[in-house]
Amino acid sequence: MNELTDSTAATAPAAEPGAGPCWTVDFWLDPACPLTRNTARWITHVSEVVPLQVTWRAMSLSILNEHRDDDPEGDPNGYLWIPARIAAAVQTEHGHNALGMFYEALWTTSTGVEREWIDDPADALQRAGLPTSLAEAGTTTAYDRALRASHRSGVNRVEAEIGTPILTITMPTGDQHTYFGPVIQAVPPPEEAVKLWEALLLITTIPAFRELKG
């Protein structure tokens, strides 16, 4: 896999000096996917207890499925393009850290309560401290080139049928491993969250490992 060289600040804080090895995770997401949201919350919780940095990156289920004859997302009107395009606009104009803040606001209320479905993008932009004018990108193709480039930079790393999320884990040694998932039905409690992370790290040590589905 090609190395990621983007130096934009990640949403998770860097480990303190002397804290030991630090991992990084590049996390490609479609902002409207509920299962991806579970994985995002999981990796955020993990980053609070282990030396881990997360960089959020935009991808799109609409792009992933645009050449299919069926509609696996049940989105005949193309609504899913809107939040993905806005995410690309945020990432392009304000960076990956800003994308993480927009994504968090999109899925939470003003009091921090998790939503069952995403908020109005303009409201989420405002609460994330970003220009609400970026919401206009959702109904134009102005950032489609950037969205497709970000999308490709993730999906081209996995030689299998994939969806969202895609995670590239960079080890303290610099070695990188990319996976589709983990896809989880719910956010695990803290102890299980760390166990899942440790299990994922263990898998990365097996060169022959390719895919696991439940």
* Segments in 48-110 forming alpha helices (H): 61-65, 81-94, 96-106
Intervals of the chain under pLDDT 70: 1-20, 68-74, 212-214
**Distance between CA atoms of residues 170 and 4, nearest Å:** 9
- pLDDT tens digit string along 133-161? 999 999 999 999 999 999 999 999 987 77
Q: What is the dihedral of CA 164, 169, 175, 176, to 10 degrees?
A: 10
Query: What pLDDT is stored for residue 61 in this prediction?
Result: 94
Number of H helices, E strands in the chain: 7, 4
